[in-house]
Amino acid sequence: MDRRSLRRARLLLGTAGLALAAAGPVLIVRGRGGRKEIRTELAAQKITFPHHGLPAGLASHAGHAVDSGPEAHAYARFIQSNVDRATGGRTYAEITAEVHAAGGDDEKLAELRQMAFMGQSLRASLMSAYQAWHLTTLVTGLGTALTGLGVALAVTADAIAPRGSDGA
């Protein structure tokens, strides 16, 4: 490769490296900020697992506050088990169809539909927090990877710098 091509490669690699090395920490800060916001919002809801009555797979959460994505996911599973037990496994949509088939006059079905709606809405909110938790992990990881790649490109650019008797 001639000196001109080396200078171009160095400029390209160096510029890309610096851009990635600058973008990476921004992603890391945004990911960590998002994680903190999720924790703050979940803690503000003051959701705590009951001490007793949890399904076997959730017993380890007894008495713990919900303040992380994995805990939000676990509590969403707890809500789902309660809704399934109360509705016999039927969804809000299925119960709504039953209400309409009954002419809309069945008060017990209407109450069951309301309970299913609230339970499924709460569960959806917690699942959104869980998904956001995963996104913050992804953003932070990408930031770390981009920072490393940027530094590697910048070092590579410096290593292929044309060297002459004048040190340029």
Instruction: Give 16-47 pLDDT, tens digit per residue.
Output: 999 999 999 999 999 999 999 999 999 999 99
**Residue 20 CB neighbour total at 10 angstroms:** 19
Half-sphere exposure of 91 (CA within 13 A, CB side): 4
Instruction: Give 120-133 pLDDT, tens digit per residue.
Output: 999 999 999 999 99
CB of 20 closer than 8 Å to CB of 146? yes
Instruction: Give 65-105 pLDDT, tens digit per residue.
Output: 999 999 999 999 999 999 999 999 999 999 999 999 988 78
Of 41, 25, 6, 1, whose CA–CA distance to 168 is shortest?
Answer: 6
**Residue 35 CB neighbour total at 10 angstroms:** 19
Sort 48 into a burial class: Cβ within 10 Å, 0-12 / 13-18 / 19+.
middle
Question: What is the rounded average pLDDT of the residues 124-151?
Answer: 98
Name 104's Cβ contacts closer than 8 Å, sequence gap at least 6.
110
Specify the pTM: 0.82
pLDDT attached to residue 92: 93
Q: Which residues pair with 65 in a beta bridge?
A: 48
